[in-house]
Structure 1
Amino acid sequence: MGKRAVVIVLDSLGAGECADSCLYGDQGSNTLAHTALAAGGLNLPHLQELGMGNIIAIQGVPPVELPQAAYGKMQEKSPGKDTTTGHWELMGLVLEQAFPTYPNGFPPALISEFERRIGRKTLGNIVASGTEIIKELGLTHMRTGYPIVYTSADSVFQIAAHEETIPLETLYRYCRMARDVLTGEHAVGRVIARPFTGDPGSFVRTANRHDFSREPDTTLLDHIRSSGQMVIGVGKINDIFAGRGISESYPTVDNQDGINRILEILARDFSGLLFANLVDFDQLYGHRNDPVGYARALEEFDRRLPEILALLSPEDWLIITADHGCDPTTGSTDHSREYVPLLVYGQGVKPAVSLGCRESFADVAATLADYLEVSSDKLAGKSFYSCLNKH
């Protein structure tokens, strides 16, 4: 077995407002700390042993004297606070310009071109919560067959459709058409298929969501694959990178499915990167302002963390981090511009090392390039490999 790096993104687990959070209207946000407060404290004994409570103050998760992992937090260097930007930067790609957003909906000319291509009208074209807009427009959609188009504070073009009104493959085809339309100044980060089922008054979004991302420039994933090693994506990783640099992809239906996949892959013999996104924190709890659900999901992850640790080989490095914040206790249901936690663990990693506040998520990519002995050409970030490597 060769060297293996495992990166697990706890989607939206922000660790406090960044210095520039005022530019995004996110002053005071702290997803992790506020979730803990709202839940009356968190019970995360395994993350605590690694050093999560040494990063920031968390009710129920006090700091430990000798953390088993290296610990710190990271500032996002790219403009924005969305999933794609965060993941790309983790893999060494810092954006100079933020993806376009549409606080007033998409331009009429763009919608008209999309409608021309799909051969039917659309509903919505507003900024909205996904669960609320299907409540509002779901019945009209079912009567007319018109797909629901909406966006958020993120750079997304979302298309919602009932699976019995617009079949999944048709919805995915519409998303690919939208991806073709959204170019140049309108090249949004993601086009997202948002299928749902059920009857009016009890609509439910399904696990058949699919993201059609803009393709990134060079990332660490490309360098790992070029070296002959594997890049295995779990969850929506393949979607986020538009398939670029991915050797194998395993979509998931929820966090537990994602953890099961991680365990199955770690039981295999491979060298390279296992890159996983656990989306429930963001999708089910952050965006729905449900701190109690968020806390429960964190505790569920913590309970299963020993299973992951038990499958790590002596050379493996595990990194636990996030891609942005989504504070479930604020008035907003959008992502928040926050630091993200950073835990680095492995038998070959020096424990109890404070990594401080990193200037960019891309430090993860630079470090893993050193660890996996691959090129760091065109990658941003400053490696912390030398201060952690025991060998």
Structure 2
Amino acid sequence: MVNRVVLFVIDSVGIGALPDAEEFGDVGANTLGNIIKAEGGIHLPNLISLGLGNIDGIIGIDPIESPLGAYGRSDEVSQGKDTTTGHWELAGLHLTKPFKTFPDGFPESVIQAFEEKIGKKILGNKAASGTAIIEELGEEHLKTGYPIVYTSADSVFQIAAHEEVIPIEELYKMCRIAREIMMGDHAVARIIARPFVGTLGSFNRTSNRRDFSLNPPGETVLDIAKREGFDVIAVGKIEDIFNGQGITEAVHTEDNMDGIDQTINYLNKENKGIIFTNLVDFDSKYGHRRDAKGYKQALEDMDQRIPELLKSLKKDDMIMIVADHGNDPTFKGTDHTREYIPILIYGEAVKPNVNIGTRKSFADIAATIADILGIPSTGKGDSFKSLMM
């Protein structure tokens, strides 16, 4: 009997290009495999003990004889390779149409409406790396007080501002205004507040980032679990990704280590249902910045905490360690990559050394969680409960 499932997302840790990667310009992408290749190896003994090296098609990690957990990988049905698409599919939704992107910046009508509502001009309005654009426009921002607006290859409208120039609450208010404007024909998946601090030449983004998402277009396993009386606890940016829908309690985190601490904190409390955690640093600090060395170190740091996480599990708990897309730091550009995600499952009720194979959809995870908790499914995905329990 399992009463609580931890869905633990190691953000952007893809394990190889999907069959349709060519359509996304991602042939050859392999976040984990290419980090291992570029850095001459990696030390992940705890993930390996759960079966990481036994996953079909994994590159750079040898299989072991008796993994402690069940393991596999998943293809993606939804048309996208971004955070929102990946998490929504993990929760049991398929998106047949990709979110709108603005590679050449936002239309003049959008910018004009935004400037009128916030009572200020903006800087930027182009696709750019978040760290690069604050270095480029930071001085002008400090002088004028105008927010920096930019996008990326993702479906995002991002607003960067120095915390001493535009206070956090004012920045969040600007994001809510942008969210109202970026609907209908101009709808983007997320409006993102990107606050930073520091002086010219040494700006640093802070953990006060917030995402203002669209509502999921249908019912997720989170909505169903909440309706059925279960706790649905969101750790990290999960609450933002689902715009609060289907969540009973939430905590935002400062970094990966805080995300692990908060997950353990909730495991030590009396709750039942779903603890949904996202560790974002892999993606935001290392993937997008194309920092393979930093990415490797972050993975090794997380791996050291895995025993502590597993020890916190009660007899009727289960953990599923997954990703939401890839972000190969050795690949061209600064965008996410269309990849398989790993699936590692551990708990007293889980049979060790079971290969659940290649799943057709991330939604298989949602279907399995629904099956385990004895609640209705979203109708998307196939449960693999019978294979591993």
> TM-score, structure 2 length as denominator?
0.98
Partner of 2:80: 80
Unaligned 5+ segments in structure 1 are: none
Partner of 1:114: 114
Q: Decide whether the 8 Å contact of 2:73 with 2:343 is kept in 1.
A: yes
Is residue 186 of structure 2 the alignment partner of residue 186 of structure 1? Answer: yes
Which of 327-336 and 149-158 deviates more? 327-336
After superposition, the Cα gap between the structure-2 partners of 1:173 and 1:22, relative to the gap in structure 1 and judged at 3 Å, is: same
Q: What's the secondary structure of 1:332's corresponding residue?
A: coil
Q: Decide whether the 8 Å contact of 2:15 with 2:58 is kept in 1.
A: no
Q: Decide whether the 8 Å contact of 2:79 with 2:98 is kept in 1.
A: yes
Distance between the aligned counterparts of 1:28 and 1:2, measured in 2? 39
After superposition, the Cα gap between the structure-2 partners of 1:68 and 1:381, relative to the gap in structure 1 and judged at 3 Å, is: same
Amino acid at match of 1:371: I
Partner of 1:254: 255
Partner of 1:373: 374
After superposition, the Cα gap between the structure-2 partners of 1:208 and 1:153, relative to the gap in structure 1 and judged at 3 Å, is: same
Q: What's the secondary structure of 1:6's corresponding residue?
A: strand
Partner of 2:295: 294
Which of 153-162 and 312-321 deviates more? 312-321
Instruction: After superposition, give the CA deviation of every residue in 1:153-183 in whole Å (9 maximum; x if it has no partner).
Output: 1000000011111111110000000000011
Amino acid at match of 1:329: T
Distance between the aligned counterparts of 1:117 and 1:218, measured in 2? 33
Instruction: Kindly report which structure 2 residues correspond to 1:1-391, keeping only aligned pairs within 5 A, or say none.
Output: 3-55=3-55, 56-59=57-60, 61-216=61-216, 217-376=218-377, 378-389=378-389
Q: Decide whether the 8 Å contact of 1:79 with 1:98 is kept in 2.
A: yes
Which runs of 4 or more aligned residues in structure 1 lie more than 2 Å from their structure 2 counterparts after TM superposition? Answer: 56-59
Amino acid at match of 1:348: A
Distance between the aligned counterparts of 2:260 and 2:82, measured in 1? 23
Identity of aligned residues (%): 55
Amino acid at match of 1:370: D
After superposition, the Cα gap between the structure-2 partners of 1:13 and 1:2, relative to the gap in structure 1 and judged at 3 Å, is: closer
Unaligned 5+ segments in structure 2 are: none
Q: What's the secondary structure of 2:348's corresponding residue?
A: coil
> TM-score, structure 1 length as denominator?
0.97
Distance between the aligned counterparts of 2:380 and 2:110, measured in 1? 34
Distance between the aligned counterparts of 1:76 and 1:107, measured in 2? 31
Deviation at 1:58?
3.9
Distance between the aligned counterparts of 1:54 and 1:184, measured in 2? 45
Amino acid at match of 1:209: R
Q: What's the secondary structure of 1:103's corresponding residue?
A: coil
Q: Decide whether the 8 Å contact of 1:232 with 1:248 is kept in 2.
A: yes
Amino acid at match of 1:115: E
Q: Decide whether the 8 Å contact of 1:219 with 1:379 is kept in 2.
A: no
Q: What's the secondary structure of 1:203's corresponding residue?
A: strand
Amino acid at match of 2:207: A
Deviation at 1:379?
3.6
Distance between the aligned counterparts of 1:356 and 1:63, measured in 2? 14
Q: What's the secondary structure of 1:284's corresponding residue?
A: helix
Corresponding pairs, count? 387
Deviation at 1:122?
0.8
Q: Decide whether the 8 Å contact of 2:2 with 2:318 is kept in 1.
A: no
Q: Decide whether the 8 Å contact of 2:2 with 2:372 is kept in 1.
A: no
Q: Decide whether the 8 Å contact of 1:2 with 1:270 is kept in 2.
A: no
Amino acid at match of 1:10: I
Distance between the aligned counterparts of 2:69 and 2:92, measured in 1? 22
Q: Decide whether the 8 Å contact of 1:218 with 1:379 is kept in 2.
A: no
Instruction: After superposition, give the CA deviation of every residue in 1:124-169 in whole Å (9 maximum; x if it has no partner).
Output: 1100000000000011111111111000010000000111111111
